[in-house]
């Protein structure tokens, strides 16, 4: 799986992963991060998620990284915001009031470009990446955000019965990826209504991750 996979998804409008409303798990559990109003929240591989509109309406600032220019431009259109667009090294920086999105390869995004963030909300990034990339991603995100607390949503299902993405990322792997830097608390396990893609029984595990020490 490479960048072309996701570019083609957006070009072909194969975006069944896109939800029309803010994710219920975000709404139910975001307060566990205990953020002050105006805090800056990072959404990796954000697409044009409606979660961003919810966060902005709730008084937070948003930063995000997304591979697809189509997704980001549609997001700003739906938010009825006119972004300022400028080159940011190997990426493109789209910005408006309280929102900064970086278009391109998230592994090219540096802490200097991103700027400080108070928390990370990862609903679509870790589960979008195949197993051989997830270790690199987790390490990059941890460094990129200075071990900012995270709200993570991960799917769990029998990977032999359905292909990702989204991929199954079970408890043991979440712990392997993050327990060196974070204290992990499982907030909820929620059954996916109708199964994942209507094929296989699945749950969404919602994790709170807080910096150790």
Q: pLDDT for 184-203, tens place per residue?
A: 999 999 999 999 989 999 99
How many CA atoms within 13 Å lie on the side-chain side of 51?
28
List the binding residues for S-adenosyl-L-methionine. Answer: 10, 45, 66, 123
State the chain's mean pLDDT as an integer: 92
Measuring CA to CA, which residue among 132, 177, 125, 182 is closest to residue 154? Answer: 125
Return the residue matching tokens 């108070």: 118
Question: pLDDT tens digits for 22-31?
Answer: 999 999 999 9
Domains, in order of start, for the chain: 3-12+21-211 (3.40.50.150)
Alpha carbons within 13 angstroms on the beta-carbon side of residue 190 total 15
Query: Are the beta carbons of 149 and 209 closer than 8 angstroms?
Result: yes
Q: How confident is the model at residue 213 (pLDDT cuts 50, 70, 90)?
A: confident
CA angle 50, 51, 54 (to 5 degrees): 95
Cα dist from 31 to 27, 28, 36, 211, whole Å: 8, 8, 10, 17
Q: How confident is residue 5, by pLDDT bands cut at 50, 70 and 90?
A: low
Q: Binding site: which residues?
A: 10, 45, 66, 123
Dihedral sign computed on CA atoms, order 71, 1, 176, 188: positive
Per-residue pLDDT for 12 more than 70? no
Counting residues of the chain whose pLDDT is more than 70, the rounded percentage is: 91
Separation CA 88–CA 108 (nearest Å)? 10
CA angle 166/171/172 to nearest 5° reads 115
């Amino acid at each position: 799986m490479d960048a072309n996979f996701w570019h083609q998804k957006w070009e072909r409008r194969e975006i069944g992963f896109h939800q029309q409303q803010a994710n219920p798990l975000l709404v139910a559990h975001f307060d566990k991060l205990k953020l002050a109003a105006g805090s800056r929240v990072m959404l990796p591989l954000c697409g044009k998620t409606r979660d961003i509109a919810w966060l902005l309406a709730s008084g937070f600032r948003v930063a995000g990284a997304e591979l697809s220019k189509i997704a980001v431009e549609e997001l700003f259109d739906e938010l009825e915001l006119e972004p300022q667009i400028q080159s940011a090294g190997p990426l493109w920086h789209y910005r408006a009031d309280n929102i900064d999105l970086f278009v391109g390869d998230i592994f090219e995004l540096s802490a200097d470009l991103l700027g400080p963030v108070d928390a990370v909300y990862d609903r679509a990034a870790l589960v979008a990446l195949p197993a051989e990339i997830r270790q690199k991603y987790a390490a990059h995100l941890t460094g990129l955000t200075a071990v900012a607390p995270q709200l993570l949503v991960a799917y769990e299902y029998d990977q032999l019965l359905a292909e990702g993405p989204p991929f199954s990322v079970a408890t043991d792997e979440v712990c392997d990826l993050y327990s060196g830097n974070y204290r992990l608390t499982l907030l909820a396990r929620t059954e996916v209504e109708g199964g994942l893609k209507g094929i296989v029984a699945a749950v969404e595990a919602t994790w709170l991750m807080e910096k150790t020490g």
